[in-house]
Amino acid sequence: MAMRKLLSRLASSKHAVAMTEFAMATPLVLTAGLWGLETGNLAITHLRVNQVTMQIADNASRIGDTSTLSNQKIYEHDINDLLRGSDIQAGEQLSLYEYGRVIISSLQVEPGSDNDQQYIAWQRCKGRMQVGSSYGVQDTGKGDPSFVGMGPPGEEVAAMPDDAVMFVELHYYYQPIVTDAFISDRIIKSRAAFQVRANRDLSEIYQRDDSDPDEIARCDVYDSYKEIPPEHHNTGGWDWIFSDNPDVGTTSSSTSSTSTGGSTGNNGSSGNNNGSSGNNNGSSGNNNGSSGNNNGSSGNNNGSSGNNNGSSGNNNGSSGNNNGSSGNNNSSSGNNSSSGGGGVDDTVCTLLPFLC
């Protein structure tokens, strides 16, 4: 009877109605707010990437020695300054060359060709993302009438005779604030083209000091100006993990099987193996028990490089009064995680392998 009265009072109670409604509406309101926040940040990042692309192309069209007696020469040092300046201009928040790649191409008319045949005279690149130009590598277009310029089909940019066009492509892997669940494609692509502003020496890119040449920003090298890239903002969609431990979701451990052989009255031993950080960890602990009343021995092994994770512990017991041993192995850190949440997909590992 008392329970029935209690349930009746609860059913007719109107206390905490607002709190209940708020609790039910909060997930929807929070989701909508985070969606708007992420969408706004994505739009701002698109704007920044487009502005940096235009800045690089504009500056590339202006570089060179100023001379009234001869055509302007450009140097490897000028291009390196151009790339370094764009990294500073883009800012630490964007981390342009850590999560992206810039490709500068000089589009020119092939000397001695008919019909002003277009070709890529030279190309310089910077950034860790492993992507190439969408329009070809250096010397693309030589003797190839099908190459009419650079740009989308039907909107190609072409150079005039004795002139050049600086064509810049920028690829950037967007870093979300909250989650990438609201984003269909995190790869931002931008391009810009500027005609060279003065009479430029188009024969080659010079070195200021041949005895001490400047570094060439080659397109077969994938690097940046930071020795240690910033931490990757990998959210993994909706696979969120709420914990005070910052290592949750990025650390995996695997423990080998344990076997025991022999009888009582003896001391067993353990083999502890620890994998170290990086993209690969693996170790093994092999311990053998022997006959008689003996103590098992320990095996401590550390494994480093390689692209493998996991460990094994193999233990053998033999006749007599023996103790089996155990091998416990842990592999830690890196982006090869067997635990849930925040995994890096294959596409990201292909474009930015240093994150995996």
Among 63, 95, 92, 75, smallest CA distance to 168 is for: 63
What is the total count of domains within the chain? 1
Q: Is residue 218, in this structure, part of any structural domain at all?
A: no
pLDDT digits (tens, 9 = 90+) for 31-62: 899 889 999 999 999 999 999 999 999 999 99
pLDDT digits (tens, 9 = 90+) for 81-91: 999 999 998 87
Q: Is residue 69, in this structure, part of any structural domain at all?
A: yes
**Residue environment code for 174-197, b if the CB has 16+ CB neighbours within 10 A, otherwise e:** bbbeebbbbeeebebebbbbbebe
Query: Does residue 231 register a pLDDT over 70?
Result: no
Q: Is residue 186, in this structure, part of any structural domain at all?
A: yes
Q: Structure pTM?
A: 0.63
Query: Does residue 321 register a pLDDT over 80?
Result: no
**Residue environment code for 40-57, b if the CB has 16+ CB neighbours within 10 A, otherwise e:** ebbeebeebbeebbbbbb
Residues constituting the chain? 356
Q: Is residue 18, in this structure, part of any structural domain at all?
A: no
Residue 66 pLDDT class (50, 70, 90 cuts)? confident
Q: Is residue 79, in this structure, part of any structural domain at all?
A: yes
Average pLDDT over residues 275-288: 41
Q: Is residue 286, in this structure, part of any structural domain at all?
A: no
Q: Is residue 40, in this structure, part of any structural domain at all?
A: yes
Among 354, 355, 130, smallest CA distance to 221 is for: 130
Q: Which domain holds residue 152?
A: 25-195
pLDDT digits (tens, 9 = 90+) for 163-215: 999 999 999 999 888 888 878 889 999 999 999 988 899 999 999 999 999 99
Average pLDDT score, the chain:
75
Q: Is residue 170, in this structure, part of any structural domain at all?
A: yes
- pLDDT value of position 180: 82
